[in-house]
Amino acid sequence: MKPVRLLVAVLAASLAFVGLAVGTASATTVDECQSLLATLSSDTVAAQTSFSDETSATSEVEKLTDASAKLAEGKTADAVQKLVDFQSTLTSLATASKAKVDAATAESLTAEAQGVIDCINSIDSAATADTTA
C-alpha cells in the first residue's frame, strides 16, 4: 500500500510542478506586448499604399505610437483605448461610402490590433492574480 501512496504523491508533485511551469510560461510581459505593437506599427506603415490618403495612414500610426507610450508608462487601459480607437477608425475608413482603406487591409490590421489588446489585457490579468494570491 505504501508504494501506491508514494506513487500518488510523486504524481501529484509532478502535476503541480508542470502547472507552475505552464502558468509561468503563459505570463505576458510589457516587452512582449510592445514587440507585438511594434510589429503592428510596421505593418501599418507597410500598408500605407492601401490608404487613399496619407493623412489617414499617418493618423493611424500616431495612435499606435501613443498606445506604445501609454503602455510604457504602465497605463494599460489607456493603451487599450488607443488600440480600440485604431480599430474603430480602420473600420470607419473601410466602410465609408468612398472607402479610404482597402477592406482586407483594415480587417488584417484590426485583427492584429486585437492580438495586442489581448496581450495587454493578459498583463492586467496576471497582475490582478498576483495581487490576490
Mean pLDDT score, 114-125: 92
Q: What was the pLDDT predicted at 41? A: 98
> What is the model's pTM?
0.75
For the chain, give the mean pLDDT: 82
Question: Mind listing the pLDDT tens digit for each residue in 25-45?
Answer: 445 899 999 999 999 999 999
Tracing cell 490590433 back to the chain, one arrives at 113
Question: Mind listing the pLDDT tens digit for each residue in 74-97?
Answer: 999 999 999 999 999 999 999 999
Q: Exposure of 122 by Cβ count < 10 A (0-12 exposed, 13-18 middle, 19+ buried)?
A: middle
Q: What was the pLDDT predicted at 126? A: 66
Question: Mind listing the pLDDT tens digit for each residue in 53-80?
Answer: 999 999 999 999 999 999 999 999 999 9
Q: What was the pLDDT predicted at 28? A: 83
pLDDT grade for 131, boundaries at 50, 70 and 90: low
Of 49, 48, 35, which is closest to residue 112 (Cα–Cα)? 35
